[in-house]
Amino acid sequence: MAIAITLKEYLQNNDVSYEIIDHRRTDSALHTAEAAHIPGDRMAKSVLLGDDESYLLAVIPATHRLQLDQLTQLTGRKLNLITEDELQQAFADCETGAVPPTGLPYGIETLVDASLLKQPDLYFESGDHGKLIHISVDKFRELESDAIVAEFSKHL
């Protein structure tokens, strides 16, 4: 598989230049950062949550743990991790678990942890477990201009 078509079109439609980084398949965002020889703080990890209302995509550094209680306070919603089946339905053109941090083209509200935006550049899943996208943080900020930016994760 290559870059997920939804993501590829989104990047093209927004005139975002990017680099593709190949890496061996891993079981977590932090291990992906290690395999690709990139700093874990620059690797964006996407966590899909949901409730009876809708899905929400929380994007945090691979070196952080999501603080669900802070998200509950921030959103006023009781969010839970969703199942792999729901994840596959929401990101149908992505391999399970290779979720990009861009909810907008998938119709999903996105929250970005503020610590990610302090980095000079970011790496994230392309929809394929063997490829990462590398872009400047400024371009990512433009792509996610509708996202809520807040602190809702803690360094491991």
pLDDT by residue (tens digit) across 86-109? Answer: 999 999 999 998 999 999 999 999
Q: Residues 13-33: pLDDT tens digits?
A: 999 999 999 999 988 999 999
Given this model, what pLDDT does residue 125 score? 96
pLDDT in the model for residue 1: 58
Pair 101, 46: CB distance under 8 Å = yes
The per-residue pLDDT for 43 is 98
Q: pLDDT tens digit string along 99-152?
A: 999 999 999 999 999 999 999 999 999 999 999 999 999 999 999 999 999 999
Q: Which domain holds residue 150?
A: 5-155
Domain count, the chain: 1
Place of tokens 């993501």: 7
Q: How confident is the model at residue 2 (pLDDT cuts 50, 70, 90)?
A: confident
State pTM to two decimals.
0.96
Encode pLDDT of 52-80 as tens digits.
Answer: 999 999 999 999 999 999 999 999 999 99
Task: Give the CATH number, domain containing residue 128.
Answer: 3.90.960.10
Identify the pLDDT of residue 42.
98
